[in-house]
Amino acid sequence: MIIQVENLHKAYGDVKAVNGVSFSVAEGNLFSFLGTNGAGKTTTINILTTLLAKSSGAVFVAGLDVERSPEKVREFIGVVFQDSVLDPLLTVRENLAVRGSLYGGIRGAKLNSAVDNAVRITDVSSFAERRYGKLSGGQRRRADIARALLHMPKLLFLDEPTTGLDPKTRRDIWRLIRDLQKSNGMTVFLTTHYMEEAAESDDIVVIHKGEIKAQGSPLELKTRYCSDLLKITTLGGEFIEHKLERTVDALPIIERHKGNIANVEIINGTLDDVFLNLTEGFEEVG
- Predicted confidence (pLDDT) per residue in 76-122, tens digit: 899 998 888 899 999 999 999 998 888 766 778 888 999 999 999 88
Q: For the sheet containing 3-12, what is the strand order?
A: 15-25, 3-12, 56-61, 64-65
pLDDT of residue 125: 92
- CA-CA distances (angstroms) from residue 223 to 167, 172, 198, 214? 28, 30, 16, 12
pLDDT of residue 129: 95
Q: Distance (Å, rounded) from C-alpha 11 to C-alpha 280?
A: 23
pLDDT > 90? residue 260: no
Sign (positive/negative) of CA torsion 81, 87, 90, 94? negative
For the CA atoms of 16, 282, 274, 82, what is the dihedral angle to 10 degrees?
-20
Backbone φ and ψ of 232, nearest 5°? -125, 130
Query: Average pLDDT, stretch 119-144?
Result: 92
Most confident of 87-91, 201-205, 271-275: 87-91
Q: Distance (Å, rounded) from C-alpha 31 to C-alpha 25?
A: 7
Q: Distance (Å, rounded) from C-alpha 233 to C-alpha 4?
A: 50
Answer for the pair 158, 188: CB distance below 8 angstroms, yes or no. Answer: yes
Residues in the chain, total: 286
Give helix then strand counts, H and E, for the chain: 10, 12
pLDDT of residue 247: 52
pLDDT of residue 286: 32
pLDDT of residue 235: 63
Domain boundaries of the chain, sorted by first residue: 3-221, 228-268
Q: What is the mean pLDDT of the chain?
A: 83
Per mean pLDDT, which range of 25-29, 62-66, 246-250 is the poorest? 246-250
Return the bridge partners of 11, or none. Answer: 16
pLDDT > 70? residue 138: yes
Answer for the pair 240, 234: CB distance below 8 angstroms, yes or no. Answer: yes
Task: Tell which CATH architecture fits domain 3-221.
Answer: 3-Layer(aba) Sandwich (3.40)
Position 258 confidence tier, pLDDT thresholds 50, 70, 90: low
pLDDT of residue 79: 92
pLDDT > 90? residue 24: yes
